[in-house]
Structure 1
Amino acid sequence: MFIIRKVKYLALTAVLLSLSHIASAETIMRVASWLPPTHVQNAVVWPTWGKWIGEATEGRVKLEIEYGLGHPKTLFELVEDGVADASFSYHGYVPGRFKLALGVEEPLMGASAEATSVAYWRVHQKYFAAANEHDGLTVAGVFVHGPGQIQTIDPITSLADLKGKKIRIGGGVPSEIGHRLGVTPVGAPAPKVYELLQQGIVDGVFLPIAEQKTLRLNEVARNVVMLPGGMYLGSFSIFINPDFLDSLSDKDREAIIGVSGEKLSAMAGKAWDSADSVGLKTAEDAGVNLIKVSENDAFAKDFNNLVEGIDQIWLESVADRGVDAESALAELRSIARSYKE
């Protein structure tokens, strides 16, 4: 009897040790995020990518989101320094570093976030990656948010009404648009926008319609002008610490790369497109004053005239990058507009 119990004990011990080994073998990929937990990036994009990573690595790598690690402009350095294993951020938060990345923000793209994100990834790989603007990081994906729109506390009836208004602008191409409009720019990360509007520190903001829901702007920005195709598209990258990748087995490293790239870029863009649809419905249900501008309206024509020549400014700004930027921009637009979703 004693021998039988001992055998059972040893068997159980072996099982527990085996389970312990499996648990300890699991690698946690710590992803830093700066948007609210309910935001589409945290509610859809990260969980979906995490599911792909878990399946591709047979459960050996698990993605976990961490909040509150710092301003989004610092996340590039935090991941490079290993404070987090991966993250994402808006390129416009770091003026001067990501010049090429801002090409995708050019007005009048005329395509969805999903289509533009796919085009962006292909153009990034073909033209931009060699310039190494993401030095110290491994780029896992690039994407854009949906069309930026004019969201204000008080209604406006023309672009001229924005002159002198205090407008929160995240940087990048919207900064040039704001300059041409004659607004007073106020810099702040997106999660601070609700507070800025609520307290009257700013008169409005340029952001996609999704934020009527995710940042609850339907409560504080009760007037939205929706230009056809929007004012701009916001440029983001998803990046990983190279040392973290090197710490993995070749098999797991390749597995993560295999579920990143264009696949990740398309998924992120599509998720943000969906968020725009939800944001629009939220605004409509909340009785927000939505002015949906058609292409033939004076509002749209004035905007088209306003942004004339912005392409050239970008082309001149990246002349030192050693990239055929003109071909890259033409290819970007061609792929985005012909993409079949």
Structure 2
Amino acid sequence: MNFLKTAAAVTLGVSLSAGAMAETTMRVASWLPPTHPQNAVVWPTWSKWVEEATEGRVKIAIEYGLGHPKTMFELVEDGVVDASFSYHGYVPGRFKLTQAVEQPLLGVDAEAASVAHWRIFNKYFAKAGEHDGLEVIGLFTHGPGQIHMADPVSSLADLKGKKIRLGGGVQGEIGHRMGVTAVGAPAPKVYEMMQQGVIDGVFIPMGEQKSLRLKEVAKNVIALPGGMYLGSFGIFMNPDFLAGLEAKDRAAIMAVSGEKLSAMAGRAWDAGDAAGLVAAQEAGVNITMVKDGDALSKEFKDLTNGMDQAFLESVSDRGVDAKAALAELRDVARSYK
């Protein structure tokens, strides 16, 4: 009888051990505050999808404080962490094609843009190899980038010479055309820089009025219709980590990623913008809501003349039909329901 009990105990122990070994934790690096929609909504939602799809065999652990957002690409490539996300504009020499979705006057929200971004990337841009060394599992944009200033301005011409934090990508070209003094820094540093008077303002979505507490330091906002630009982000995994999973778990993770993840991320950032607008209004931020046809709107449209052609010339070495891709991206985004 004792032998049977011992055998049963050993069998149970081996079974539990095998179950524990089968469970894998995916380490995900994040560089935004825990309260930001990316960390409060996107990662938890996707984590739940992954855990359910893999029947609990793959779980997600979010890690903070691992460096500048531009280093996230390298951290994942090198296997320091298993997955992350970042803003393509932080690595301008590597990522050029992703600026297609950032071009001005697209006139859609982040969800529509994100779905178009994912589809066009897979159809046209993936083969260019800008993400070599990474498994791209999602692409999204933040909401419309707007003008957030410490002091009020009445026209875009008033921005000339102002110290503006720019994050790279298309906003850099817009800032150049405006004649601003560009200051580079990761988004989480903007509050401190505004507070200390290092910068006069920032081009960033409305959501950061709440998530980065800009409502306390950037008390004047110009909100252009459709914004000035959208910002391109990638969500990516280490290919070796993915290859190390069982085939069924790889398939399960990819099934809850791609367009589904891209749309959800864009939707979460849209909701963040709505919350940011409310927070700014409640904090007494002076918000100028520009309408189509207003002087500021016309001024911005004139400012953007030729940007499409400049983008196409900048990616002429990528070996893709960027003109067709840009046209199709706009069609997909504007027809998205």
TM over 0.5, yes or no?
A: yes
Residue 73 of structure 1 is matched in structure 2 by 70
Q: Does 1:177 align with 2:174?
A: yes
5 Å-filtered alignment, 1:185-200, equals: 185-200=182-197
Q: Aligned equivalents of 1:91 and 1:167: distance in 2?
A: 19
Report the Cα offset of residue 281 of structure 1. 0.6
**1-structure distance, mates of 2:306, 2:48:** 43
User: 2:234 — aligned with what?
Assistant: 237
Task: Answer yes or no: is 1:209 the counterpart of 2:220.
Answer: no
| Cα distance in 1 for residues equivalent to 2:217 and 2:11 | 60
Name the counterpart of 2:105.
Answer: 108
Pick one of 129, 132, 135 that aligns with 1:135.
132
Residue 23 (structure 1) shift: 2.1
CA distance in 2, matches of 1:321, 1:14: 58
- The residue type equivalent to 1:134 in the other structure is H
Q: Which runs of 5+ in 2 are unaligned?
A: none
1:253 paired to 2:250: yes
2:261 is aligned with 1:280 = no
Q: Does 1:145 align with 2:142?
A: yes
CA deviation digits over 1:212-266, x for unaligned, max 9? 0100000110111000000100000001100001101111111111111111100
Deviation at 1:11, TM superposition (A): 3.7
C-alpha separation between the residues in 1 aligned to 2:28 and 2:192? 26
CA RMSD, aligned part only? 1.1
User: Which 10-residue stretch deviates more, 124-133 or 22-31?
Assistant: 22-31
Secondary structure of residue in 1 paired with 2:204: strand
Letter in 1 for 2:296: F
2:264 to 237, 253, 267: 267
Partner of 1:329 in structure 2? 326
Cα distance in structure 2, aligned partners of 1:47 and 1:30: 13
Question: Following the alignment from structure 1 to structure 2, what is the Cα–Cα distance between the partners of residues 288 and 6?
Answer: 76
Give the Cα–Cα distance (whole angstroms) in 2 for the partners of residues 282 and 222 of structure 1.
12
- In the TM superposition, what whole-angstrom CA distance separates every residue of 1:246-305 from its partner, at most 9, and x where no partner exists? 101111111111111111100100010010010001001111101100111100000000
Matches of 1:87 and 1:6 in 2, distance apart?
50
Q: d(CA) in 1 for partners of 2:196 and 2:6?
A: 66
Specify the code of the residue in structure 1 equivalent to 2:266. Answer: G
Code of the residue aligned with 2:101 in structure 1: it is V
Q: TM-score, normalised by structure 2?
A: 0.98
Q: Which amino acid aligns with 2:48?
A: K
SS at match of 1:329: helix
What secondary structure does 2:99 align onto? helix
Alignment match, 1:298 = 295
User: Which of 282, 286, 289 pairs up with 2:286?
Assistant: 289
Match of 1:316 among 313, 316, 336: 313
> Identity of counterpart residues, as a percentage?
69
What is the one-letter code of the residue matched to 1:205?
A: V
Q: The residue matched to 1:66 in structure 2 has which SS?
A: strand
Please, which of 159, 162, 184 is the counterpart of residue 162 of structure 1?
159
Post-superposition, which runs of at least 4 consecutive aligned residues in structure 1 deviate over 4 A? 5-10
1:126 maps onto 2:115 in alignment: no
Structure 1 residues 122-164: Cα deviation after superposition (integer angstroms, max 9, x where no partner): 0000000010100111100100000000000001111111110
Aligned with 1:222 (options 219, 233, 242): 219
CA distance in 1, matches of 2:35, 2:218: 19
C-alpha separation between the residues in 2 aligned to 1:141 and 1:43? Answer: 17
Give the Å deviation of 1:308: 1.0
